[in-house]
Structure formats: C-alpha cells, structure tokens
Amino acid sequence: MSRSQLCGVGTLDASRPLLYFGAKRAIGPCAVRLCSEGWHLQYAEDISDLQRLLATADFKVGIVALDHQAIIDNDRRLVSVIAKAEQIHWIALLPREAMDLLPLRELIGSTFYDYHTLPIDPNRLLHTLGHALGMAKIIADTFSLEEREVRNNGESEMVGTSPQLQKVFKRIRKVAGVVAPVLITGESGTGKELAAQAIHRRSPQAGGPFVAMNCGALSANLIQSELFGHEKGSFTGAHQRKIGRIEVASGGTLFLDEIGDLPMELQANLLRFLQEKTIQRVGGEEDINVDVRVLAATHVNLEKAVHEGRFREDLYYRLNVLQIKMPALRERIGDVPLLAQYIFRHFADEKGCRVKGFSEDALYIMNHYDWPGNVRELVNRVRGAMVMCDKSLISPVDLGLDRRNSFSTRSVTTLSEAREKMEINTIRTALGHNRGSVTRAATQLGISRVTLYRFMEKHGISRI
C-alpha cells in the first residue's frame, strides 16, 4: 500500500492525528505532503461524522474548510461542536475573498486558533499545524499537572497555591487524624464547609457519613428536632419517629455550620452531647450513645459573643479544641486567576459557545478586587459572566467589575510595600495565567527565565 493511501481513514498515528472537516477538494492537493510529514488525516464529511470522530479519538489539531455556503448552513451548529472540543486547536481553511465578510472574521477571531487562505501554501500550513500541535500539548500537559496537584491536595475545590491556603492545607492534614472537635472560622464564602469535608475525608471517620447542618437556617424548635430527632407524638405534627442529624452521623462527622447562630437554649443540649456522647430524642427518655466527630464553623467572633453573653463559654471551649482559620480571598495572593480558571472549566456547560476564557483586563481586575463575598462571590460573578459574555473573552464589564470598585478599599503604607505587592501580584498572575509555565510567564513579563526564578525565590513564590 502506498504512503498516499495511508492518509485516508484508518489506524491513527498516535502522535499526529489530524481531523479535517469540509470538502476534500480543498485539502486534496496538500494531503500527500501532510502524510509524508507524519500527519494522519481523518475526514469528517458532515456534522454528525465530525461529532462521531470527536467522541472516538483524541485529536489535538483540526482543520475546518469554510466556504460561503458552509458559513450560511452550518455556522451555529458547527461553532457549537468545535467550541465544545476545547482540547483541539482549530485551523480555518477558507477562500481569501471570504475574509471580507464581517461575520466570518468574527467567527475566526472567536473560535479558531489560526486560519489559512486558499490556495494552500504547504510549508506555511505545516508550520501552522506544528505550532498548533505544540501549543495544544503544552496546555494539555499543564492542565494535567494542575489537576494532579489539586487531587494530591485532597482538598476538593479548595484550589490555590498561595502561602495562606497552603497553611490551611497543612493544618487540615494535622487535625484530620485525631477525633477532637475542630472550630473553623472565617468570613462568609471562604470555603469553611469545603475545609470540613477535607478533614472528614482524611479522618478515621472517612468511611462514615458526613452530615452538614446550618444552625442559622432553622427556627429554634426545628433545630432541636433536626439535631436530636423526636419520638412519635412528642408534639403536634410528630406523626412518626424522626432520627436526628447527630444520630444519622454516627460513625462519621457532623458539621455544624454557623454555630454562632445556635439559640442559647440548645447550646446546653449540645454541650451535654459533647461531654457525654449521648443524646435524647425530643419526647424520649432513653439515652442513645452516638459516636460522631463534631466540626463547627462560624463567621461570628465567638469570643466576643461569649463576652456579650450570646454564646456559652463552656461550649466555646468544647468546640474550640482545634482551630482552622480560613483566609479571605483578598488575602490569598495570586489564587484568584487559578480559581477563576478552575470555575470556568468546572461550569463549562454553562458558557456560550464562543467564550474561550478571560481577557487580560479581566484577570488584572479580578486579581486586584477585594472580593467582599470571597470565593462564593467569585463563583457567582464568573458563572454569570460565562452566560452573558457575547465575545470570545470575558471582560471586566461581563464580571460586573470596573476599576472604581476594584481598587476602592486597597491601600498600602509605603512605596516599598506597594512595589513588593505589585511584584508578587504580577508574578503570580503571570504564572496563573500561563498554567505554571515559567518559560511562558517570563516571556509575558519580558524577562528571562533566570530572572523570573530569582524573583520567585525572593518572594517565596512556588511554581504552580
């Protein structure tokens, strides 16, 4: 069999499979040359064929041949299909005169890695394909590295490399192996429940249930029934026995969120449970032994609440055997770009077909905004921007941010501190934007790799 015959449908070359969608006549004169350079063409003749090949093979590079009719007939459906295949760097192949069409220019700019006009210049096309393949592999490798690091942290969606978050990870690993209560403090939206889940997964109770309850979401009488359960007929509406959250969590972990909102009359009951490891259901007289680890969280200053008589001092010390303080997002230097990219990928199904990521302005604004709502606010703003953005890159306007509200509360005391903060923020932003690649970050910053490594060592910045 000749070399040219091998360029059709067949077994994929593991290193250089090339997906082609469109009329074969456009690529035909160049097919043999592509094959001789190690590319293995796989042809998709229609949208259904394209979807089938995308589902059955791992492509890094693809070519889409566009003509005027293809744009009219397939624009929306085709763009939707290729936009979902984010691992592929797409090259558009089109007649030179077609570039005068504004819709096509917008399509190329928002969806494709590069374009090539007809007639084909084989050398130029090979150069474009080679560069696209190299970039696709770099991105795939760095995404894999980032995902491995997140998995190795064992902290689920607690994504970040800042020293502040690394301290949290270290403390989680320390407290997870013991059975003592842990009090998790921090502002609303900082991820206190994620920290509790991470402790549970690493604890001896990991095989048991993780039961969460928000103490501020229910009225006093409902909280008592939810926590301790009740017997049939113990009050109006108690038509059958109910097992409470504490009992359900036996053998595992009970997470009491917003413990500072627990009514005073229930604090004594919770204290008794923590001391004796027994409970009584509402309306019952039997003591029930329960083996459960208690984790509590609050955004309230419990020491102040104790001083003001709103929280029992003895319960505070029972809960506060071990403590983890979740840092505010504004304190986590360099984590915002990483988190934003993680959220973008996590909610990929919600984004418009043209949306590819964040603009430089958006990343800069996000990195300098105070985030009063912390990670929860970041998630909401990114998700909203993904839906509302009608261009290829999310802008500050899409996020609902501008320079006035981004810098309103930031302040520094000296020029030296301002310079150091700017250096750290700039380096972390560049590393985050380039998925941890020191080479690409240095290029973006206009410095050598050696200089960037020196700055990273100076500020204690680890490679992402």
pLDDT (tens digit per residue) in 119-153: 889 899 998 898 888 877 766 654 444 444 444 44
Per-domain boundaries in the chain: 5-148, 163-327, 333-409, 411-464
Q: What percent of the chain has pLDDT over 90?
A: 27
Which band of pLDDT confidence, cut at 50, 70 and 90, is reported for residue 379? very high
What's the rounded Cα separation, in Å, for the pair 371 and 358? 18
| pLDDT tens-digit series, residues 322-367 | 999 999 999 988 888 888 888 888 887 777 667 888 887 888 889 8
Which band of pLDDT confidence, cut at 50, 70 and 90, is reported for residue 399? very high
DSSP for residue 434: T
Amino acid at site 392: S
Closest CA to 62 of 107, 98, 115: 115
Asked if the model's pLDDT at residue 200 lies above 90, the reply is: yes
What's the rounded Cα separation, in Å, for the pair 398 and 298? 32
**What is the mean pLDDT of the segment spanning 383-392?**
87
Do 163-327 and 5-148 have the same topology in CATH? yes
Residues 6+ apart with CB under 8 A from 407: 368
For the chain, the first-to-last Cα distance in angstroms comes to 48
Fold type of domain 333-409? Helicase, Ruva Protein; domain 3 (1.10.8)
DSSP for residue 46: S
The torsion region of residue 244 among left (phi > 0), alpha (psi -120 to 50) and beta comes to beta
User: What is the number of other CB atoms lying within 10 angstroms of the CB of residue 186?
Assistant: 19
Q: Which of 86-100, 115-129, 185-199, 262-276 has the highest mean pLDDT?
A: 185-199
**What is the mean pLDDT of the segment spanning 385-398?**
88
Asked if the model's pLDDT at residue 12 lies above 50, the reply is: no
Residue 3: the pLDDT is 38
What's the rounded Cα separation, in Å, for the pair 213 and 223? 9
pLDDT top residue among 320 and 67: 320
The pair of three-digit structure tokens given for residue 388, joined into one six-digit string: 């509302």
Pairing of strands 253-257, 210-214: parallel
Residue 111: the pLDDT is 73
**What is the mean pLDDT of the segment spanning 378-406?**
84
Amino acid at site 451: T
Q: What percent of the chain has pLDDT over 70?
A: 84
What's the rounded Cα separation, in Å, for the pair 360 and 366? 10
Which band of pLDDT confidence, cut at 50, 70 and 90, is reported for residue 183? very high
- For the chain, the maximum distance between any two Cα atoms, rounded to a whole number of angstroms, is 88
What's the rounded Cα separation, in Å, for the pair 213 and 227? 8
Segments in 112-238 forming alpha helices (H):
122-153, 163-176, 192-202, 220-228
Range with the poorest average pLDDT among 52-61, 139-148, 373-382 = 139-148
Q: Which residue has the tokens 């700055």?
A: 455
The pair of three-digit structure tokens given for residue 399, joined into one six-digit string: 């996020």
What's the rounded Cα separation, in Å, for the pair 383 and 389? 10
What's the rounded Cα separation, in Å, for the pair 188 and 185? 9
pLDDT top residue among 353 and 302: 302
Please provide the CATH number assigned to the domain covering 411-464. Answer: 1.10.10.60
213 vs 126, 176, 216, 218, 276, CA distance in Å?
59, 20, 9, 10, 21
Amino acid at site 173: R
Burial of 193 (0-12, 13-18, 19+ CB in 10 A): middle
**What is the mean pLDDT of the segment spanning 19-37?**
87
DSSP for residue 353: T
What's the rounded Cα separation, in Å, for the pair 229 and 215? 15
Q: Which residue has the tokens 């003895």?
A: 314
The pair of three-digit structure tokens given for residue 142, joined into one six-digit string: 């760095």
Amino acid at site 449: R
Range with the poorest average pLDDT among 166-175, 286-295, 411-420, 438-447 = 411-420
Residue 378: the pLDDT is 94
Q: Which residue has the tokens 């192996």?
A: 177
Asked if the model's pLDDT at residue 452 lies above 90, the reply is: no
Residue 414: the pLDDT is 54
Residue 404: the pLDDT is 52
Which band of pLDDT confidence, cut at 50, 70 and 90, is reported for residue 209? very high
Residue 152: the pLDDT is 41
Chain centre to alpha carbon of residue 324: 22
Residue 73: the pLDDT is 53
Chain mean pLDDT for the chain: 81
pLDDT top residue among 242 and 295: 295
Q: Which residue has the tokens 């494709």?
A: 112
Residue 69: the pLDDT is 59
Half-sphere exposure of 76 (CA within 13 A, CB side): 1
- The DSSP bridge partners found for residue 36 are none
What's the rounded Cα separation, in Å, for the pair 285 and 230? 11
Range with the poorest average pLDDT among 94-108, 241-255, 318-332 = 94-108
Task: Return the CATH architecture of domain 5-148.
Answer: 3-Layer(aba) Sandwich (3.40)
The pair of three-digit structure tokens given for residue 163, joined into one six-digit string: 């020293």
What's the rounded Cα separation, in Å, for the pair 436 and 459? 16
| pLDDT tens-digit series, residues 68-80 | 555 555 456 777 7
Question: Apex CA 147: angle with CA 114 and CA 334, to 5°?
Answer: 80
Fold type of domain 163-327? Rossmann fold (3.40.50)
CB 202 within 8 A of CB 248: no
**What is the mean pLDDT of the segment spanning 290-295?**
93
Closest CA to 129 of 31, 8, 245, 233: 31
Closest CA to 104 of 120, 92, 113, 89: 92
Which band of pLDDT confidence, cut at 50, 70 and 90, is reported for residue 52? confident
Rg of the chain taking only CA atoms, in angstroms:
29
Asked if the model's pLDDT at residue 195 lies above 90, the reply is: yes
Residue 320: the pLDDT is 94
